[in-house]
Amino acid sequence: MRRSIILVLLSLFAHAALAGTTAIINVNVVPMDVERIVAGQTVVITDGLITRIGPVDEVPVPKKSDVVDGTDRFLIPGLAEMHAHVPAVGSENLDRDFSLFVANGVTLLRGMLGRPSHLQLRADLLEGKVFGPRLITSGPSMNGQSVNGSSEAESLVRAQHAAGYDFVKIHPGLKADEFEAIARTANELGIPFAGHVTVAVGVERAVEAGIATIDHLDGYMAAMLPPDSGASGGYGGFFDVLLADQVMDERITELARLTAASGTWNVPTNVLVEQRISEVPAAELRSRAEMAYMPVATLQRWVVSKQETISDRGFTPQVAARAIELRRRLILALHDSGAGLLLGSDAPQVFNVPGFSLHRELQNLVVAGLTPYEALRTGTVNVSRFLGTNTGVVAEGRDADLVLLDANPFEDIANTRRVHGVVLRGVWWSAYELQQRIDRYRNEHSR
C-alpha cells in the first residue's frame, strides 16, 4: 500500500510538470453541439484550454507537447454527475470517490449535501491541489429538522449566499411557509434552490416558485393522483412508488409541459430508484464488478436498504413494475416537451458506485426512449447550459475536461464505459494511471 501511494504521488508530480500542452492526434471528435462526429482531427490543449482543433494533416503538433494517439478513438466532453454526495474534507472516502469518478470520465460534480469544508475544497480542486472533478456545491440541507419557521429559513438562505455556496439544497420535511421563504429569498438574492419537492406545496407550486432542479422525479407521482385523493394520496413509500397504481396516466404530458414552461430542469436519478425497487435480487446487485471498490460494511448497508424497501407495507412487484414504467414514460415526456434533463445517479448511494452508476443511468435514459446522443447531452452540453460553465462541448476556447473513448458512444451508449483516458482540467490521465489510482481501494472480499 505504501509503495502504491508513493507511485500515485510521483504520478501527480509528473502530471503537474507536464500540464502545459497536450495534443490528441488523429481522433474522432464528438463535439456534442449537434449530433455529428468529425473524423481525423488533432486537438491541442494548452494551459487547460482547447486552443486548436483541425484536420490531422493541417494542425502541427506543438513542440514538447504530451502526445496522445487518438486513432480509431472518440473524444467527448467530460461527463457530469449532477447528483453526488461528497464526503467531508479529511474523510478517508474522499480520494476514493473522486478517483472512481474521474476513472469513469466524470469531470464535474454537483454536490447535493454541502458542508462548510466544501467551499475550500471547490477551490482546491479547481487549482489542482486536490485530485478530482470540478465541484459545484450546495449549502447544508434545508429540511424539516434544520429549519424552524419562515424567519429562520430566510436567514439560512442569506447566510449560505453570503458564504459563497452555489445553490440551496431542499430536503423533505419543510412546511409550506418555510418553502415559500426559501424560494422568495433565493430568488431575491439570485441563488438557485434545488432538490426535493416539498410535500406541502407539490410539483406545480415548486416549479412556479422557480425551483432550479427537481431531483429523483420527486413529487411527480403524487401530482398524478386524482383530485379527490388528498394532498399526498396517503403513504407513498420510497419516492411515492406505492402510489403508482392510483395515478392518472394522462397527467404525465400535462406535468411535462408545465415543467418545460417553467424552466425547471430534472435530474431523474432513475437508476437509484429502479435498482432499489426492481425484482433484481440484492445479491445480484452486490456481485457487480464495481462493488469491489466499496467497503464490505457499505455493501451490507445497501443490501439492507433494498430489503427494507421491498418489505415495506403495500409493496408488491406489480406496483414496483408500474412505478418503473411511469417514471420512464415521464422522463421521455419531459424530454419530448423540451424540459431540461440533467445526468445524475445519486452516488454513492444504494448500489451506486461513484462513476460506474452514471454509465448505468445513461443506459437507463436510453431504455426510457432517448437516443444515445440525447442521453449523452444530459451529462455534457445540457450541464454547461444549466450551470453556465465553459465545459460540455469539444470546441476551441472551451475548458479541456474531456474523455477519450475506445468506441463510438452514438452506436451504443455502453461505449461510454470504454475509457481510454481522461483530460482533467487540461491534464492527460491514461486509463492505466487511473486504474492504478482506483486499485488502491479494491476490496477483494467485497464480492
pLDDT single digits (tens) 263-287? 999 999 999 999 999 999 999 999 9
Report residue 405 CA to chain centroid gap: 19
The parts of the chain modelled with pLDDT lower than 70 are 1-19, 230-234, 444-447
Q: What single letter denotes the amino acid at residue 363?
A: Q
What φ, ψ does residue 206 adopt, rounded to 5°? -60, -45
What is the structure's pLDDT at 229?
A: 72
CA angle, 216 as apex, 300 and 231 as ends, to 5°? 115
Q: Tell me the H-state helices in 89-130.
A: 94-103, 117-126
* Contact between 68 and 23 (Cβ < 8 Å): yes
What is the structure's pLDDT at 19?
A: 57
Report residue 211 CA to chain centroid gap: 18
Nine cell digits for residue 228: 379527490
What is the structure's pLDDT at 91?
A: 93
Spatial distance between the Cα atoms of 114 and 123, rounded to a whole number of angstroms: 14
What is the structure's pLDDT at 20?
A: 83
Spatial distance between the Cα atoms of 223 and 216, rounded to a whole number of angstroms: 14
The helices-and-strands tally (H runs, E runs) of the chain is 16, 15
Domain ranges of the chain: 2-77+394-439
Spatial distance between the Cα atoms of 384 and 205, rounded to a whole number of angstroms: 26
Count Cβ atoms below 10 Å from residue 235 Cβ, excluding itself. Answer: 11
pLDDT digits (tens, 9 = 90+) for 172-214: 999 999 999 999 999 999 999 999 999 999 999 999 999 999 9
Please, what is the average pLDDT of the chain?
Answer: 93
Q: Name residue, grid cell 434545488.
A: 194
CATH of region 2-77+394-439, choose from 2.30.40.10, 3.40.50.720, 1.20.140.10, 2.30.110.10: 2.30.40.10
What residues does 430 pair with on adjacent strands? 421
- Listed in sequence order, the residues at least 6 apart from 111 whose beta carbon sits closer than 8 Å to its beta carbon are 84, 85, 86, 118, 135, 136, 137, 138
